[in-house]
Structure 1
């Protein structure tokens, strides 16, 4: 398993490059659009793998740290949706693209946030709990926020979104947590392979999205990339600012910032492909690349600034 662990580590380190490579291949091979028929299954496997890394303790922490977790979850489902809505209005986006950007903002945090928080010397336990709780709440909040924010551009079937998220997110995560709880020994043996499985499946999802939208990539790709960079940047910034205003510690601010700024882009791409079309899935696909660049860069900066260093109190990030 050590060899597999090394391969998984390699895939995790070079995830962004692998996604870019897959996207380039898919752009020149439109036939790969057939992958989109299996996106929900692929995402379900990824979410099951996420569940295998979680425990009941991660959810129970809500009752011991209600302030920190309540702050993070509230920021998750307000900052990114509202920033996405503002970007759609300011840039006067066409309906399909506006729906994709807003859907990305309404999704829960992504699992990569836990690794980035660790590298940034943030509160990893808080990050894991925030990912867990926001994922469980996604079937409720994601459809509701889409109905409220994206409804001005096109019809939103909140009920269908709810059931899709339950099927491809909630059920696999719960099954993963149960497996981790009752089959801990077996899960520990396969855990080194989980990062590799997640990376491969996310790359395949992105390839399907790009292949299905290859005709539109050149036309809207630069705009979508700009939107993704702004969305991610504002999420990281406002997440940190809100946590600071709430008076939590520096390690907790970093965790909230990363959790808010890094979305479950695979879920966004999958739901967009199913309900809003190929162009709507592009923000999620490009976000998969960008937040795996911005996250490590931010983590590198924070890792060089120990928590508690007050040499520059005006920049205690």
Structure 2
């Protein structure tokens, strides 16, 4: 095992704590990461490029051959999370940029760390990655449309610009990564072991930048309700995702995968778009979500792993099994 792989395992083990400590550090010393604010989209591009490098044509063929659980999980994600966000804004009477920020993070594709949580919990990793891939590829259309539907009354939504930016930030890096993996094959696979470290560092840099940009408004009366809203949003997503997968009679590993895929969001994308197109305050829900869902996901994965009395292992059941 190389030093980079060892470093990646250490960072992965303590990633949630690192996110919390790094966020606190940048709240106290915001100038540390303030220079990163204009470069957040590039950092997200690096993360998604890394995701593309790990994908193969076979991953897309798997979706095409056995699409039903993948489509069901993706639809559940894009129905449950935006609707929950909208309802929570009504219940807690959130307004303006804060409400738009909650709905924005709820309209994002599945979170990149969900596959890690599914693996740790003994879930169906193949299904998890397939839903994550499909929801990310659909983001340029789904995200602006959902924002216009649910957040249009709170803030002006530049749907065309959002679409073009999401294509540029999300699709281009992934497609480029897939192309390079297809062309160079095993040569690319030799360097994929460094990708988790690169992605983790990039996520930390994005969190630091968003905290730095919002440090003056992070804990104010106007944003005091964001923390309980984000917690309820995430936990309700887990619960409804699990209930949905149980209603359609999926097996236990698949239920775990869909639970994480529904409840965990690509909050880095939410923070990036909030800063680019709205005001810094709209990025606060995404930032808090980024910290919280790593905590809740780790706890849930640990609970499921303990309950199954086993070490984490890759589950790759057939996607059409129920």
Partner of 2:146: 145
Q: Is the 8 A contact 1:47 1:172 kept in 2?
A: yes
Deviation at 1:285, TM superposition (A): 1.1
From 279, 282, 286, give the equivalent of 2:281: 279
Deviation at 1:79, TM superposition (A): 0.4
Deviation at 1:222, TM superposition (A): 4.5
Task: Report the Cα distance in structure 2 between the residues aligned to 1:222 and 1:295, rounded to whole angstroms.
Answer: 23
Q: Is the 8 A contact 2:124 2:257 kept in 1?
A: yes
Partner of 2:315: none
Task: Report the Cα distance in structure 1 between the residues aligned to 2:150 and 2:179, rounded to whole angstroms.
Answer: 35
Runs of 4+ in 1 over 4 A off after TM superposition: none
Comparing 215-224 with 187-196, greater Cα deviation is found at 215-224
Segments of 5+ residues of structure 2 without an aligned counterpart are: 310-322
Deviation at 1:223, TM superposition (A): 2.5
Task: Report the Cα distance in structure 1 between the residues aligned to 2:111 and 2:75, rounded to whole angstroms.
Answer: 16
Q: Deviations over 1:115-163 (max 9, x none)?
A: 1111111111100100111100000100100010000111101111111
Deviation at 1:94, TM superposition (A): 2.1
SS in 2 for 1:23: helix
Partner of 1:17: 17
Partner of 1:104: 105
RMSD of aligned alpha carbons:
1.4
Deviation at 1:224, TM superposition (A): 2.0
- Residue 199 in structure 1 maps to residue 200 in structure 2: yes
Taking structure 2 as the reference length, the TM-score comes to 0.92
Deviation at 1:64, TM superposition (A): 2.3
Partner of 2:259: 257
Task: Report the Cα distance in structure 1 between the residues aligned to 2:215 and 2:66, rounded to whole angstroms.
Answer: 46
Deviation at 1:231, TM superposition (A): 0.9
Aligned residues: 307
Q: Deviations over 1:29-56 (max 9, x none)?
A: 2333231100001110111011111122
Matches within 5 A, 1:156-305: 156-219=157-220, 220=222, 222-305=224-307
Task: Report the Cα distance in structure 1 between the residues aligned to 2:284 and 2:71, rounded to whole angstroms.
Answer: 31
Partner of 1:314: none
SS in 2 for 1:51: helix
Q: Is the 8 A contact 2:100 2:282 kept in 1?
A: yes
Partner of 1:82: 83
Q: Is the 8 A contact 1:16 1:288 kept in 2?
A: no
Partner of 1:3: 3
Q: Deviations over 1:81-130 (max 9, x none)?
A: 00001111111112101111101010000121111111111111100100
Taking structure 1 as the reference length, the TM-score comes to 0.93
Task: Report the Cα distance in structure 2 between the residues aligned to 1:202 and 1:118, rounded to whole angstroms.
Answer: 20
Q: Is the 8 A contact 2:98 2:223 kept in 1?
A: no
Partner of 2:74: 73
Task: Report the Cα distance in structure 2 between the residues aligned to 1:222 and 1:179, rounded to whole angstroms.
Answer: 45
Partner of 2:313: none
